[in-house]
Amino acid sequence: MKFHKYDTVIVGAGGAGMRAAIEATKRSRTAVLTKLYPTRSHTGAAQGGMAAALANVEEDNWEWHTFDTVKGGDYLVDQDAAEILAKEAIDAVLDLEKMGLPFNRTPNGTIDQRRFGGHSRNHGEAPVRRSCYAADRTGHMILQTLYQNCVKEGVEFFNEFYVLDQLITEVDGVKKSAGVIAYELATGEIHVFQAKAVIYASGGTGKFFKVTSNAHTLTGDGQAACYRRGLPLEDMEFFQFHPTGIWRMGILLTEGARGEGGILRNKDGERFMEKYAPVMKDLASRDVVSRSIYTEIREGRGCGPEGDHVYLDLTHLPPEQLDAKLPDITEFARTYLGIEPYTDPIPIQPTAHYAMGGIPTNVEGEVLSDNTTVVPGLYAAGEVACVSVHGANRLGTNSLLDINVFGKRSGIAAAEYAAKNDYVELPENPEAFVVEQIENLRNSTGNERVADLRRELQETMDANVMVFRTEQTIKTAVEKIRELRERYKNVSVQDKGKRFNTDLLEAIELGNLLELAEVMAVSALARKESRGGHYREDYPNRDDVNFMRHTMAYREVGEDGSETVRLDYKPVVQTRYQPMERKY
């Protein structure tokens, strides 16, 4: 076991983690612990752009952006946070440009902007060009640019270090963050990191679905570490299904394709989005478009022999435009489907994409232990967190924005906290939980296999808590997940070694996914309304009287050791916008 002491520890090196690291390293002695090499993070898979009301190509302002974000989130967005997001977006984009990000340019040399789903001029009048982009690899360029600037600033990375536990110590009745426990992949060694401040920036949980745009490594490790230590998870029932994943594979095809003029068509060649969203059409918000696609499929207008997908049609766009603006996604269609997008439409289906919920924070990135109490020294930013700027449904281009705005904020806040506060004493035997977890898995002779349980989890999630949900399907999922959690106790690994034991880590990741899947399903079961990404066929309308509130899920352990999810609720912060019916 090795022991380390840092002012600030950041968990994760995607966009939010590295944006935080650039600020925290300037102000405090900082370590970044990341289970992947920094440039491997899934921020790099984001394609379409980053929203900011620069007004470089047409009239725009941050207030319109705030409104679109609140409306896009089906009014579950905390409006004070959305206002910060939209206001600080402009500097966030300019910061990245100054760091070197190669944005596409307008003829007069400023940052070019394009249309994206749900972003409108003057409160829904018409689509607006708000997304700042670098071809269809904006996330890649953000990740590269942030890593480049981490190199410039001399940020200290611990690569392939898996954070498996959050340390919390109670001081005078106040729960404070004391540090984290990490597992080093190369050696199997356990590391204790004592830190004044800890920032979680470890990404989403998409791998509990089967058809997903998420990387294999998105297993909710940060959410699980905090949840197991008694901290709540907010709005976990809200998961975004991106309308255009490659059929069966789930690989993301950017909404920017529709921003550039791409059209969704059913088997009759009909532009069906005109029926569902007369104004914004193919650029309605993602939840609306995903439901429309499945409605077409269910009503027998899907494409292919099984009628199980629809088409993204780019064939009317000039090949030069596809080459210049959408080179990567057209390449994906060629590589994985053998389809030439110049001449043939691309088969697509909705794909599990983004967790709106996560570790609850305030606008400084400070983690909450209930509706209002801050955990001193603990921060979260990016997809792992729930500020909540995305509410019930995130707008496209708002996540690359979120990681930059709240990554920066949490990096500054954590380093400033570390400068003013001393270390908190570590709990006794801080590594005990992780050592036991690893030894149990390594020594287990049980007959359950990780791959089987994960497959069954993903299948039940896709079938029961995806785009359409009912009491019945969610209950089926809850029961199945509980069964899988029971069976997980008998899971064993084949690799018993210490060196690069990815078999062991996959088992730990599965444990995290199972725990979070249960939180998600239980939260979804209790929300008897439809809002944003959470659509209940048995309760098809939004119910502002009973459910205009955030879900807060807590882990409760009974005296017999049994575990349950306890739900509580938190009011939504409303400032200038009253809830209205959501039409696109």
Partner 1 sequence: MATPVLDKVEKDSAASPYITVTFRIRRYNPEVSDAAVWEDFQIEIDPKERVLDGLHKIKWDLDGTLTFRRSCAHGICGSDAMRINGKNRLACKTLIKDINPEKPITVEAIKGLTVMKDLVVDMEPFFQAYRDVMPFLVTKGNEPTRERLQSAEDRERFDDTTKCILCAACTSSCPVFWNDGQYFGPAAIVNAHRFIFDSRDEAGEQRLEILNDKDGVWRCRTTFNCTDACPRGIEITKAIQEVKRALITRRF
Q: Reply yes or no on whether 286 is catalytic.
A: yes
> For residues 305, 308, 314 and 319, what is the CA-based torsion angle, rounded to 10 degrees?
-60
- Reading the block at residue 99, the tokens are 């760091």
Catalytic: which of 115, 137, 286, 536?
A: 286
- Reading the block at residue 91, the tokens are 């500097």
**CB nearer partner 1, residue 451 or residue 545:** 451
Taking Cα atoms as reference points, which of 218, 194, 172 lies closest to residue 422?
Answer: 194
Q: How far apart are CA 393 and CA 535, in angstroms?
A: 11
Helix/strand/coil for 183: strand
**CB nearer partner 1, residue 57 or residue 249:** 249
Scan for tokens 């907010």, then name that residue: 234
Q: What is the DSSP letter of 168?
A: E
Residues 538/555, Cβ–Cβ less than 8 Å = no
First to last CA, the chain: 56
Minimal distance, residue 146 CB to partner 1, in Å: 10
Q: How far is CA 536 from CA 50, 319, 357, 431, in A?
A: 30, 41, 18, 42
- Reading the block at residue 295, the tokens are 């409605």
Minimal distance, residue 47 CB to partner 1, in Å: 9
CB 267: neighbour CB atoms within 10 A? Answer: 16
Helix/strand/coil for 138: helix
Residues 67/51, Cβ–Cβ less than 8 Å = no
Minimal distance, residue 367 CB to partner 1, in Å: 26
Q: How far apart are CA 123 and CA 255, in angstroms?
A: 20
Element (H, E) at 501: none
Minimal distance, residue 278 CB to partner 1, in Å: 26
Helix/strand/coil for 294: helix
Minimal distance, residue 83 CB to partner 1, in Å: 22
**CB nearer partner 1, residue 219 or residue 410:** 219
Minimal distance, residue 313 CB to partner 1, in Å: 20
DSSP letter string over 177-239?
EEEEEEEETTT--EEEEEEEEEEE-----GGGSSSBSS-TT---HHHHHHHHTT--EE-TT-E
Minimal distance, residue 81 CB to partner 1, in Å: 26
Instruction: Name the amino acid, one letter, at 392.
Output: A
Minimal distance, residue 123 CB to partner 1, in Å: 26
Cβ neighbours for 356, distance < 8 A, ≥ 6 positions apart: 73, 235, 238, 239, 240, 386, 388, 390, 391, 392, 393, 394, 532, 533
Residues 333/313, Cβ–Cβ less than 8 Å = no
**CB nearer partner 1, residue 112 or residue 235:** 112
Minimal distance, residue 192 CB to partner 1, in Å: 24
**CB nearer partner 1, residue 52 or residue 548:** 52
Q: How far apart are CA 482 and CA 477, in angstroms?
A: 9
- Reading the block at residue 118, the tokens are 């749900």
**CB nearer partner 1, residue 328 or residue 370:** 328
> For residues 283, 289, 292 and 298, what is the CA-based torsion angle, rounded to 10 degrees?
140
Report the DSSP pairing between strands 310-313 and 263-265.
antiparallel
Taking Cα atoms as reference points, which of 167, 148, 156, 153 lies closest to residue 6?
Answer: 156
Scan for tokens 């968990």, then name that residue: 11
Minimal distance, residue 56 CB to partner 1, in Å: 9
Q: How far apart are CA 41 and CA 18, in angstroms?
A: 10
**CB nearer partner 1, residue 80 or residue 328:** 328
Residues 485/456, Cβ–Cβ less than 8 Å = no
Q: Which residues carry out catalysis?
A: 286
